[in-house]
């Protein structure tokens, strides 16, 4: 390390120590099972909360093992989807009775979109989707459109508000872009969609649990989100569906399973939908993963989402500063907006050879993920990520990129003034071909 870099590094260490010492959420970290790894993939799979294992152990040994069928009633299994929905509700700005947990996000996108189309006037024949959406949302929207005789139009998320017109039935919008970490203006976009007479369906997968969401206040119609990212519910934890209270009577589910019946045990041949949030249910709830999620939600006790947001922005600011100060110039360019109003809780860096780089980072104890071809993603979960972790991640990234994958300088682009060993040593280099390294987990989502 050159003297200049060493001085910058020391200053950053001082900042990290001061920020960690003043962090109002520092003690919440103890509610998670963590190790020496710097875990920056909570935007794909949240870390394990300590409360989960004892709870699941009790659910399996006593509720299932001893009480067996009685647990549907005596252990509250039957009503768990709504009860746990009401625990998620404050995290998304919803009053009780509007959130139900169950099925995957993909399935809930389907329910929400088809139900929205069925609520919209018949002459509104178009579904708008965010062009850069997480693929499952786009696939499901296309299928929902085919089933309902609608068309899908993909538009840039920033233009969805303007794109909505008198043909638009509904728009499906991501609150935070999974690839870039860009945060969209839920309030303004919802208002614009309503002004155009369209319904707003929001996907909160990358926002709920990381930043404030105000579904009720912003008049959102329907929303979905997953619980295994910032809500730490565990691999494959069930997703949730929000249906605004006034719309619930008009929510006509495309998957009207017996669990959403007004009288499930009446076993009637005719379907009659339940009132309220249970109308969004389908079949028998995933009790083990639901109750793991229930225990995981204990980490929120006494935690204010405003503090989480403040720390998320401070952490991502600090990480961006560390990257700018330590990482060889031009090797990892932020694509996450600098503007706080447009930033979720992850930092994405455009980096040639991202797959190889992430493999090396992981081997050195820094776990993030990457998206093909050239995006490194670092998720910052304010409940357990420390400023010191952000600094360590940037240091290791700097080391990897200084010595890392093939960085052959293209003829004519080398800056002769550079000397190896300074932070800005490796000025624009030839972009190595992306080598797909499928043995490196990309993370699921």
Ligand X SMILES: *Cc1c(COP(=O)(O)O)cnc(C)c1O
The set of catalytic residues is 134, 203, 228-229, 377
Q: Is 203 in the site for ligand X (CB under 6 A)?
A: yes
For 222, the token pair is 């329907």
Helix (H) or strand (E) holding 170: strand 168-174
Closer Cβ to ligand X, 126 or 177, answer by number: 177
Print burial letters for 30-65: b (CB count within 10 Å at least 16), e (below 16).
ebbebeeebbbbbbbbbbbbbbbeebbeebeeebbe
Place of tokens 């990129």: 401
Asked if residue 239 binds ligand X (CB under 6 A), the reply is yes
Q: What is the CA radius of gyration of the chain?
A: 23
Q: Is 104 in the site for ligand X (CB under 6 A)?
A: yes
Residue 205 is a binding residue for ligand X (CB under 6 A): yes
Crossing angle for the helix pair 3-21 and 387-403, to the nearest 10 degrees: 160
Residue numbers 257-296 binding ligand X by CB under 6 A: none
In whole angstroms, the minimum distance from the beta carbon of 45 to ligand X comes to: 10
Query: Given the structure tokens 């560390």, which residue do they identify?
Result: 322
Within 354-413, the residues that bind ligand X by CB under 6 A are: none
Regarding 12 and contact with ligand X (CB under 6 A), the answer is no
CB of 135 to ligand X, least distance (A): 8
Contact range with ligand X by CB under 6 A, out of 11-19, 103-111, 292-300, 304-312: 103-111
Q: What's the min distance (Å) between Cβ of 90 and ligand X? A: 21
Nearer to ligand X, 335 or 431 (CB): 335
Of these, 71, 148, 168, 174, which contacts ligand X (CB under 6 A)?
Answer: 174
Interface segment toward ligand X; rule CB under 6 A; list 80-88, 198-206, 257-265, 303-311: 198-206
Site stretch for ligand X (CB under 6 A), options 5-13, 200-208, 330-338, 411-419: 200-208
* Residue showing tokens 């360590």: 392
Exactly one of 170, 200, 226, 277 binds ligand X (CB under 6 A); which one?
226
Nearer to ligand X, 99 or 205 (CB): 205
Contacts of 222-227 spanning 24+ positions with Cβ under 8 A? 222/112, 222/115, 222/116, 222/247, 223/92, 223/112, 224/105, 224/108, 224/109, 224/112, 225/92, 225/105, 226/104, 226/105, 226/445, 227/88, 227/101, 227/293, 227/296
Task: Give the start-end residues of each E strand in 64-125.
Answer: 99-101
Which tokens belong to 259? Answer: 């669990």
Interface pick for ligand X out of 39, 78, 178, 251 (rule CB under 6 A) = 178
Stretch that binds ligand X, among 99-107, 317-325, 378-386, 392-400 (CB under 6 A): 99-107
The candidate with the shortest Cα–Cα distance to 117, out of 129, 104, 105, is 129
**Closer residue to ligand X, CB minimum distance, 79 or 136:** 136
Answer for which of 13, 106, 151, 407 binds ligand X (CB under 6 A) is: 106
Q: For the window 55-94, what string marks contact with ligand X as x by the rule CB under 6 A?
A: ----------------------------------------
Question: Which 8-state DSSP code applies to residue 269?
Answer: S
State yes or no: residue 105 binds ligand X (CB under 6 A): yes
Residues 108-147 binding ligand X (CB under 6 A) are 134, 136-137
CB 78, CB 264: distance < 8 Å: no
Minimum CB–partner distance for residue 178 and ligand X (Å): 4
Nearer to ligand X, 107 or 243 (CB): 107
* Alpha carbons 216 and 227: distance in angstroms, whole number: 20
Q: Starting at the earlier edge strand, list the strands of the sheet with 168-174.
A: 99-101, 240-243, 222-225, 199-203, 168-174, 126-130, 151-155
Task: Report the C-alpha dihedral over residues 48, 52, 53, 55, rounded to 10 degrees.
Answer: 180
**Of 126 and 203, which CB lies nearer to ligand X in the complex structure?**
203
Task: Decide if residue 206 touches ligand X (CB under 6 A).
Answer: yes
The least CB distance from residue 43 to ligand X, in Å, is 8
Total site size for ligand X, rule CB under 6 A: 14
All residues at 6 or more sequence positions from 289 whose CB lies less than 8 Å from its CB, including other chains: 233, 234, 236, 237, 238
Q: In angstroms, give the least distance from the CB of 324 to ligand X.
A: 27
- The distance of closest approach from Cβ of residue 390 to ligand X in the complex, given in angstroms and rounded to an integer, is 22
- The nearest distance, CB 116 to ligand X, in angstroms, is 16
Place of tokens 């899908």: 152
| Site residues for ligand X per CB under 6 A | 104-106, 134, 136-137, 174, 178, 203, 205-206, 226, 239, 445
């Amino acid at each position: 390390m050159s003297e200049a870099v060493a001085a910058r590094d020391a200053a950053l260490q001082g900042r990290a120590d001061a920020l960690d010492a003043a962090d109002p959420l520092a003690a919440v970290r103890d509610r998670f099972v963590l190790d020496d790894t710097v875990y920056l993939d909570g935007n794909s799979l949240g870390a394990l909360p300590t409360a989960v294992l004892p709870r699941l152990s009790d659910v399996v040994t006593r509720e299932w093992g001893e009480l067996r069928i009685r647990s549907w009633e005596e252990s509250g299994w039957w009503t768990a989807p709504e009860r746990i929905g009401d625990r998620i509700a404050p995290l998304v700005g919803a009053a009780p009775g509007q959130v139900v947990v169950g099925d995957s996000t993909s399935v809930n996108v389907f329910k929400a979109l088809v139900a929205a189309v069925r609520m919209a006037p018949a002459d509104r024949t178009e579904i708008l989707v965010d062009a850069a959406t997480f693929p499952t949302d786009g696939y499901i929207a296309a299928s929902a459109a085919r089933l309902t005789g609608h068309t899908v139009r993909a538009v840039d998320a920033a233009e969805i508000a303007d794109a909505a017109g008198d043909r638009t039935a509904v728009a499906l919008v991501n609150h935070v872009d999974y690839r870039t970490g860009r945060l969209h203006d839920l309030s303004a976009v919802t208002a614009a969609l309503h002004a155009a007479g369209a319904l707003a369906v929001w996907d909160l997968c990358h926002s709920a649990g990381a930043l404030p969401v105000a579904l009720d206040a912003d008049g959102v119609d329907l929303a979905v989100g997953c619980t295994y990212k910032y809500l730490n519910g565990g691999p494959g934890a069930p997703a949730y569906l929000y249906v605004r209270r006034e719309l619930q009577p008009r929510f006509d589910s495309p998957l009207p399973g017996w669990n959403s019946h007004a009288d499930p045990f009446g076993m009637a041949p005719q379907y009659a939908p339940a009132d309220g949030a249970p109308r969004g249910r389908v079949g028998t709830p995933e009790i083990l993963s639901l109750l793991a999620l229930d225990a995981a939600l204990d980490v929120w006790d006494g935690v204010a989402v405003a503090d989480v947001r403040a720390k998320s922005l401070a952490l991502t600011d600090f990480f961006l500063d560390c990257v700018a100060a330590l990482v060889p110039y031009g090797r990892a360019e932020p694509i996450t907006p600098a503007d706080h109003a447009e930033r979720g809780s992850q930092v994405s860096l455009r980096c040639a050879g991202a797959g190889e780089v992430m493999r090396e980072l992981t081997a050195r104890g820094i776990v993030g993920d990457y998206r093909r071809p050239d995006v490194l993603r670092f998720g910052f979960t304010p409940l357990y990520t420390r400023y010191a972790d952000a600094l360590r991640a940037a240091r290791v990234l700097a080391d990897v990129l200084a010595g890392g994958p093939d960085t052959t300088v293209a003829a004519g682009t080398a800056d002769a003034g550079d000397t190896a060993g300074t932070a800005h040593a490796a000025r624009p280099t030839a972009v190595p071909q992306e080598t797909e390294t499928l043995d490196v987990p990309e993370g699921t989502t």
